[in-house]
Amino acid sequence: MLDYDPDAKVVDMGCGKGDFTLRVKEKINCKEIYGVDVCESALTEAQNKGIKAEKIDLNEELGFPDGNFHVVVSNQVLEHLFYPSKLIQEVYRILKEDGYAVISTENLSSWDNIISLLFGYTPFSMGFDQIKIGNPFSPHDKKNEGEYLSHVRIFSFQGLIDLFKFHGFRIEKVSAAGYLPFNFLANIDQRHARFITVKVRKGKLGRGRISAKNFEEAIGNWLKPVRRAELPETFKSSLWPPFQRKNREDWKKARANIRLLF
């Protein structure tokens, strides 16, 4: 998912001690890499490894200028935040136009989590503060994780994708890992794998919802071959009435074209 780009300016959100950050740097082959984390002792180790690391709480504004980075990465961090949606907005802001982010997190809709809930147990991906409890099948059950930050927000497969789309990102690629007991099934049934990784690119239309003007132009261009009536000037009412179907085949084509926009 990471593109080779020696000139890229890259930042790792939640860099920890920097081991993963250095692997990212090697993969992209960038000259330098930045990292942010809230743990001072981990930051010191990261800085000793040559990473430009600084202390930032990812629940807050990041403090970087707009359009500052070509690439943002974050590995198993989003689920630890109280305000993950706010971080996604900040990632959009600090990315350059056409920049991209690669984000990996746990999947609440993995089969092991679903089965745990079915039996009334705590999902494997959840904890309470620093304590894992309520699932006798978890190797960490009734254990205190100490300084380890607990999971706060856990996303389902579709929830993660839709949140990035909501904030204006284009989904380029989705990958999955962890599918007990058959890990090779992870990318066959991504929705039920334990870990989800998405590559998202900053959209050209800007953060948030598409404007009515751009939406009308986009719909009009896609539906020229199949529409039977001119589109109205605005979309104040439901999306569907403007497309007055003359037959079932035209309606199916129109609906397929609409889906391609998202």
Give 191's Cβ-side CA count (13 Å radius). 3
Place of tokens 């993995």: 110
CB contact at 8 A, 184 and 176: no
57-79, pLDDT tens digit by residue?
Answer: 999 999 999 999 999 999 999 99
3-class secondary structure, 198: strand
Residue 191 DSSP one-character state: G
Q: Helices H, strands E: what count in the chain?
A: 7, 9
In the chain the domains, ranked by start, together with CATH numbers, are 10-107+155-202 (3.40.50.150), 212-259 (no CATH)
- For the record, the structure tokens of 249 come out as 């085949």
Residue 237 has pLDDT above 80, yes or no: no
d(CA 27, CA 18): 14
CB contact at 8 A, 148 and 130: yes
Per DSSP bridges, beta strands 143-144 and 131-132 are antiparallel
21-34, pLDDT tens digit by residue?
Answer: 999 999 999 999 99
103-155, pLDDT tens digit by residue?
Answer: 999 999 999 999 999 999 988 888 787 777 788 888 777 777 666 678 889 99
